[in-house]
């Protein structure tokens, strides 16, 4: 990435960032002090089974027992409205991978979210995740649009929990993340993220989190060092290894995507920039010969097919 182009982006990024801060930023900074439990809400219409990692789960009433949780407006809302039933699976501290798995955006035509995920089906048809700290089966009580989220209330009908001491999964956000992003970044930085979850989308998600949190200047070395550290830990599985030009290319494209208003979540960012999900995007700008060269692998080289946007 040329230094002039990168400087132009930094100026635009800082202007956008400063315009979205103020009182919202003060609120987010205050909320980062609050530890929260991590839950996966699951539901099914008898054919389609879905789950979503949620934030802001809490008990509302003891008598009758009512709980609440928040979800982003587009996600799983239609299925919940149709079934009016769901299960809240309270994850244990060893289930970070489930938090990551169910935080991914999933379309109805995509493969079953529950493939290779240990679960059973309740009498009412809810998918129930195994080995959770607790599971609450609920009937929908009510739902309200509040700001950029929907708040669901559930009347608890059945309860199960483990008798032995199993600590729940908590997150303590260092900055504003969704629950899934906090768990994902924790597992990436501790190099405990499963290799099979280190997909192209996971690369994007990691870089997006660092850029959103630190800005481009500070994010770049964190992104590069993190990839190299993950590769070292998984050296027996890695086939290609770290590539300087590919890494810088996608950092640049993520930065370009952030120039427009994409909401606050990674899923909203991808929805606004769907072309980034194509891992072969760089071949619109680079020839196979150049990208496979030793020079491109070891240092940044400009594209040979088309200029970067």
Encode pLDDT of 167-194 as tens digits: 777 765 443 345 567 778 888 998 988 8
**What pLDDT does residue 175 have?**
37
pLDDT, position 111: 53
Which whole number is the average pLDDT over 269-284?
92
More confident residue, 78 or 31: 78
Identify the pLDDT of residue 112.
Answer: 76
Report the C-alpha dihedral over residues 296, 297, 298, 302, rounded to 10 degrees: 20
pLDDT mean across residues, the chain: 84
pLDDT attached to residue 203: 95
Residues 121, 124, 126, 128, CA torsion sign: negative
- pLDDT at site 174: 44
- 50 three-class SS: strand
Helix (H, G, I), strand (E, B) or coil at 137: strand
Coil, strand or helix: which one is 29?
helix
Q: pLDDT-derived band of residue 140, with 50, 70 and 90 as boundaries?
A: very high
Q: CA-CA distance, 151 to 141, in Å (whole number)?
A: 11
User: Is residue 92 very low, low, confident or very high in pLDDT (cuts 50, 70, 90)?
Assistant: confident
């Amino acid at each position: 990435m040329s230094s002039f182009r990168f400087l132009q982006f930094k100026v635009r990024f800082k202007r956008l960032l400063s315009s979205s801060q103020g009182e919202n930023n003060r609120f987010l900074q205050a909320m980062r002090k609050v530890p929260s439990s991590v839950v996966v809400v699951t539901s099914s219409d008898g054919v389609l089974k879905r789950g979503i990692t949620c934030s802001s789960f809490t008990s509302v009433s003891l008598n009758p027992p009512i709980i609440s949780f928040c979800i982003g407006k587009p996600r799983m809302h239609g299925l919940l409205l149709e079934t009016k039933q769901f299960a809240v699976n309270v994850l244990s501290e060893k289930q970070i991978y489930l938090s990551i798995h169910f935080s991914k955006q999933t379309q109805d035509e995509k493969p079953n979210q529950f493939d290779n995920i240990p679960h059973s089906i309740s009498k009412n048809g809810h998918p129930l995740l195994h080995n959770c700290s607790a599971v609450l089966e609920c009937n929908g009580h009510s739902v309200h649009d509040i700001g950029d989220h929907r708040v669901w209330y559930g009347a608890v009908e059945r309860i199960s929990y483990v008798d032995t001491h199993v600590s729940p999964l908590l997150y303590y956000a260092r900055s504003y993340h969704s629950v899934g992003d906090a768990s994902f970044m924790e597992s990436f930085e501790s190099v405990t993220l499963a290799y099979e979850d280190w997909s192209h989308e996971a690369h994007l998600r990691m870089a997006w989190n660092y850029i959103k949190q630190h800005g481009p200047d500070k994010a770049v070395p964190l992104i590069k060092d993190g990839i190299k550290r993950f590769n070292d830990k998984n050296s027996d599985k890695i086939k290609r290894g770290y590539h300087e030009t590919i890494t810088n290319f996608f950092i640049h494209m993520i930065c370009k995507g952030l120039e427009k208003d994409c909401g606050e979540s990674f899923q909203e960012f991808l929805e606004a920039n769907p072309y980034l999900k194509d891992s072969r995007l760089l071949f619109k700008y680079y020839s196979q010969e150049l990208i496979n060269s030793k020079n491109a692998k070891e240092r940044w080289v400009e594209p040979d097919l088309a200029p970067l946007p």
